[in-house]
Structure 1
Amino acid sequence: MGDLNRLEPVKAARKFIENYFPYCDGALLAGSVVRGEATKTSDLDIVIFDKTYSSSYRESLIVYDWPIEVFAHNLNSYQEYFASDFKRARPSLPRMVSEGIILKDKGIIDSIKSEAKELLSKGPEKWSMEIINTKRYFITDTLDDFIGCSNRAEGIFIANTLAELVSEFVLRTNNKWIGASKWIVRSLREHDTKFAEQFVEAFDKFYRSSAKDKVINLVDEVLEPYGGRLFNGFSLGKE
């Protein structure tokens, strides 16, 4: 792509709306270009609202030398996504709407943004002790696999699973939103910068040298306030 000659993100997004969605009721530009975190592979995340659409859809395009991700909704479907994101504790669409730069608005955007911001400020649904204990058990089970594993290849992927489980546990027990991929670290940093650094350092040490001590200590520190590792006596689904 001709990065040096392509339009600035907002200009490209506005031109895209004018030419491809001229009759929409509202549009927002979101994502890394809005947050100031864009890289050379970043795309333009554009949220479209159009009351004439029968359902929501997602589409990927390359226009004006920009990769563009379109998230199209009618004036009701976005609420279903808000509810789904709340349930899974990953507020992808609410975050995009909340942070989005307005590209076009026929008087609908302010109320939708307010809904998104209210959901984000509320935080995810609080975990019950039953859920916490179930998560403790699966973290313990994965940690045992990690400790006992002597196969480097298998150990890498056990560590991946352990990192996801532990990050989820820390964030959800603190009533914070979780994330996937790069948003794991971003969500941890939003919650606690010092812990995020400890988390990255522990797993980075393992990936570099196969040393497990920092990961094991980290997991035990995370579980300790909730009773530590859990295996003996755990039961799930027994009547």
Structure 2
Amino acid sequence: MKKNNPYEAAQKFLEKYFPNCNGALLAGSVVRGEATETSDLDIVIFDETFPSSYRETFLEFEWPIEVFVHNGSSYKSFFEIDRERARPSLPRMVSEGIILRNDGIIEAIKKEAEELLKEGPEKWTEKTIQIKRYFLTDTLDDFIGSSNRAEGIFIANTLAELTSEFVLRNNRRWIGTSKWIVRSLKAFDEDFANQFVEAFDTYYTTGDKSRVICLVEAAMEPHGGRLLGGFSLGK
């Protein structure tokens, strides 16, 4: 079924459910030009009459629609949480979003989001790097030693997440999960992202672990390499 134009559908949705909101943004894949057959509409709502933030999903105007509702201040705590976890979901939506409604508040909120994204996440401490090296080393050894194909697949999944996090955070870049792992790596270094994908794809298709092992070891090398002996936590 042919869907309504996303911008028009979003406007109709606002008229039906949030006609008096102070501001609204259309964000997500439809704004980035990356929409697929299963994409939804992400709409960020700002409404001073709501006491707190919430999230809700609708099926309206031939679209699945996900709304992220905030008042004039509740979004700030979400910005801070996203900064701390280094996954800027809400700041990214606000920054990239197309304005649907605006009574004068959107510009300042967009500026906050853009400044946060530009600043990047906090730098890891040496203690954090040690902890991450230890768990990355431990997972790599599990991967190398595994002879069970089913287990190896899921160890590789964990290894991919840990490695992407290690590389990105040590370069003060935002991280992601699922499809955002690749997107975050490409935003950092497209050549490295391609090497990363090719290494894991080679393992998944052929069972050859060598490229993954080299990739993970190279990622740890500038920070001291593998770490097992001598590591302690909570002592």
TM bucket, shorter chain:
over 0.9
Task: State the partner residue of 2:198.
Answer: 201
Alignment match of 1:44 (pick from 31, 41, 44): 41
Alignment match of 2:170 (pick from 173, 194, 212): 173
Amino acid at match of 1:8: N
Task: State the partner residue of 2:128.
Answer: 131
Q: Does 1:113 align with 2:110?
A: yes
1:200: Cα distance to partner?
0.3
1:7: Cα distance to partner?
1.6
When normalised by structure 1's length, the TM-score is: 0.97
SS at match of 2:231: coil
Amino acid at match of 2:37: K
Deviations 1:75-121 (A, max 9, x none): 11100100000000000000000000000011100000011001000
Amino acid at match of 1:88: R
Task: State the partner residue of 1:87.
Answer: 84
Task: State the partner residue of 1:161.
Answer: 158
Indicate the percent of aligned positions where both proteins have the same amino acid.
68
Alignment match of 2:221 (pick from 185, 207, 224): 224
Amino acid at match of 1:142: T
1:18: Cα distance to partner?
1.4
1:148: Cα distance to partner?
0.3
Moved over 2 A (4+): none
User: What's the C-alpha RMSD, in Å, of the aligned pairs?
Assistant: 0.6
1:237: Cα distance to partner?
1.1
| 10-19 or 80-89: bigger deviation | 10-19
Deviations 1:121-164 (A, max 9, x none): 01001001111111000000000000000001100000000000
Task: State the partner residue of 1:187.
Answer: 184
Task: State the partner residue of 1:96.
Answer: 93
Task: State the partner residue of 2:53.
Answer: 56
Mark the runs of 5 or more structure 1 residues left unpaired by the alignment.
none
Task: State the partner residue of 2:32.
Answer: 35
Amino acid at match of 2:163: V
Alignment match of 2:230 (pick from 204, 219, 233): 233
CA distance in structure 2 between the aligned counterparts of 1:117 and 1:187, rounded to whole angstroms: 16
Task: State the partner residue of 2:68.
Answer: 71
SS at match of 1:121: helix
CA distance in structure 2 between the aligned counterparts of 1:80 and 1:224, rounded to whole angstroms: 36
When normalised by structure 2's length, the TM-score is: 0.99
CA distance in structure 1 between the aligned counterparts of 2:80 and 2:220, rounded to whole angstroms: 29
1:67: Cα distance to partner?
0.5
